[in-house]
């Protein structure tokens, strides 16, 4: 890439900054006309750079990989997931010439962040996810079952009743992992 930049007509105008302190990154965001965040692979992460661009009103070009596929269509200029050089060049030329479109992307990016990604909204989403998990997880279902079985008072269960209920619970909630007592017994032998 460095050789290509050196050979380019605009090579002296290309800078590779690497990682920057937040204040320098903010300065680059405010100086830029367009950000390009294209990926070939994803590990499922959310791009902080994309969110920073949207929040600062910098129009951004993405391809729909990972969380970038979830961006509303009017929030970022999107290339296909797999694009070629000609498509990238055409997109860059389109956005370079269309200042009104860049302005719309800027405004919708800011609005998207305000409407959906504010700390207060994120806190509510985290709380909802935690509450859902606490109510709907396998462990929560198991705990409710045990409490319900414990409240049965129609008759005093005998050993056969307890064995049948235990076998049913075990069959419906298979054990995952290792048994500490069994592991300790094996290691002491």
Tell whether 122 is covered by a domain.
Answer: no
pLDDT, tens only, 94-137: 999 999 999 999 999 999 999 998 889 889 999 999 999 888 88
Domain boundary among 83, 117, 151: 117
pLDDT, tens only, 36-72: 999 888 887 888 889 999 999 999 999 998 889 999 9
Domain that holds residue 176: 138-188
Q: SS3 for 4-40, per residue?
A: HHHHCCCHHHCCCCCCCCHHHHHHHHHHCCCEEECCC
Lowest mean pLDDT among 21-25, 80-84, 134-138, 181-185: 181-185
- Any idea what DSSP says for residue 131? H
Tell whether 178 is covered by a domain.
Answer: yes
Residues 161 and 112 in one domain: no
**pLDDT value, residue 123:** 93
Half-sphere exposure of 184 (CA within 13 A, CB side): 3
Strand partners, 77: 61
Residues 100 and 162 in one domain: no
Number of domains composing the chain:
2
Q: CA of 142: how far to CAs of 18, 120, 137, 178, in Å? A: 50, 33, 9, 18
Residues 97 and 150 in one domain: no
pTM of the entire predicted model: 0.65
Tell whether 94 is covered by a domain.
Answer: yes
Tell whether 78 is covered by a domain.
Answer: yes
Contact 102, 34 (CB under 8 A): yes
């Amino acid at each position: 890439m460095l050789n290509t930049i050196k050979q380019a007509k605009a090579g002296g105008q290309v800078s590779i900054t690497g990682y920057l302190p937040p204040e320098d990154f903010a300065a680059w965001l405010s100086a830029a006309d367009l950000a390009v965040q294209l990926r070939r692979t994803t590990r499922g992460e959310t791009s902080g750079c994309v969110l920073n661009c949207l929040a600062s009103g910098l129009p951004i070009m993405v391809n729909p990989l990972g969380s970038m596929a979830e961006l509303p269509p009017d929030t970022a200029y999107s290339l296909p997931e797999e694009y070629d050089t000609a498509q990238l060049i055409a997109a860059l030329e389109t956005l370079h010439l269309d200042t009104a479109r860049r302005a719309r992307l800027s405004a919708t990016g800011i609005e998207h962040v305000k409407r959906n990604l504010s700390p207060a909204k994120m806190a509510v989403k985290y709380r909802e996810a935690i509450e859902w998990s606490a109510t709907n997880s396998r462990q929560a279902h198991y705990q409710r079952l045990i409490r319900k079985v414990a409240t049965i008072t129609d008759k005093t269960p005998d050993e056969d009743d307890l064995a049948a209920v235990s076998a049913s619970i075990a069959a419906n909630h298979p054990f995952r992992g290792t048994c500490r007592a069994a592991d300790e017994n094996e290691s002491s032998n």
